[in-house]
Amino acid sequence: MGNNDPIGIFDSGIGGLTVARAIHKRLPAERLIYFGDTAHLPYGDKSAAAIQAYSVKITDVLISEGCKVIVIACNSASSAAYELLREYSASKAKIINVIDPMVDYVSEHFSGKKVGLIGTRQTIQSNIYLQKLQSKVSDADLISLATPLLVPMIEEGFMHDKISRDIISEYLGNKIFSTISSLILGCTHYPLIKDEIEDYYSGKVKALDSSRIVAAHLQDYLTKNHMDSKIQNGKNKFYVSDYTPSFEALTRMFFGEEIHLEKFRLWE
């Protein structure tokens, strides 16, 4: 693995673009290869075995592209497939997930406080956030709720409108969240509605966005291991397993440049 090798990032859909954009802003010299598994979204309602199968296939693609680090930009895949991918690619690429950096951040800044968590069914049912938090903070107080309608809502473009406000209010109005100090956005799609979530709480609850936290973690890893790129290293590349014009349009908006999506079917 060389300093100028690319960084791979993958998710089931547009959510991982929030992580990719944060990495691009923080590490502009790094070349990114993004894989959106749009043929199989959302991952949150898939079995762990299915998510693992998709993740291994995508990891093979990113390794074949010479990626020095692969970021699992998806909470569902991070909970279901991280340990498998870490072993699978141990000698080929470093694997980073979106859960561990968030757990480190929460344990450092919100220890002793009641923290909420929203995410897909896969992420919430795995109980991985609580397990990891309790390994660092014995009295961790985490209140979790699966919010399965949010991903399809975002993927369909329902944001900052009556539909999104009603769905968000239905979930966040649950009484279990009445005394939380902060809320972990446990899905990389959710930063796209972060403003709406914070508006619901009138600024009294801090929404914790993993994209910036993961980008900072990645920068720290690359610097400490002398793996950061020293020169601007070519154009970013974007793969999808199923082409959609809306995905391409959103990618262009996120990166502010002309984007061409390359279709790559995981299984022919």
| Residues known to be catalytic | 74, 187
Residue burial 27-38, b: 16+ Cβ < 10 Å; e: rest: beebbbbbbbbb
Nearest to 101, CA basis, from 193, 218, 194:
218
> Cβ atoms within 10 A of the Cβ of 7, count?
27
